[in-house]
Amino acid sequence: MRVMGIDPGLRACGWGVITVDGPRLRHVANGTCRPTGSDMGTRLCALHVMLTEILATHRPDAAAVEETFVNSGGQSALKLGQARGVAVLVPAQAGLTVGEYAPNTVKKAVVGVGHADKAQVAHMVKMQLPGCDPDSADAADALAIALCHAFHLQSSGRLAAAMRA
């Protein structure tokens, strides 16, 4: 089973794809979408096109997106929310149910501590996916989201059901 994780952002949207074969996890690909444009509509459209191409290339069976964490002003939260909407929309358009995880849930699943920093997350992603070299902190976060989703699918028994479907 292939699992895609997405760390939404308007300037840098990380993505990562892993395969899950029982207890074995393997890195497939990762990257960072960097949409350009002077207005919000153009950037969101570019993000949609980029994520759609990635989804078509890697054909995941499951997808997960990080929930928005708001620690700054409302304006930035609204902008991030729009990027997150695109990140949820693209896999949903492909017929995938999209898992959603809080940042602390992802960190706890991958590092073992809910308040781990980005360096700890990147280190544990590399440990759990040997040979993996995320191209950015956002890509490492996306791989962590994919790992978290894979762990949750395995523990809930949905992995077997999804593979039969």
- For the chain (length 165 residues), average pLDDT per consecutive 10? 95 96 94 93 96 98 88 75 94 96 94 90 95 95 97 76 65
pTM: 0.91
Domains identified in the chain and CATH numbers: 2-164 (3.30.420.10)
pLDDT in the model for residue 75: 78
- Give yes or no: 133 in active site: no
- Give yes or no: 138 in active site: yes
pLDDT in the model for residue 159: 56
pLDDT in the model for residue 72: 62
pLDDT in the model for residue 19: 97
7 appears as a binding residue in the annotation: yes
- Give yes or no: 7 in active site: yes
Nearest Cα to Cα of residue 7 among 162, 149, 159: 149
Candidates 7, 39, 67, 141; catalytic one = 7
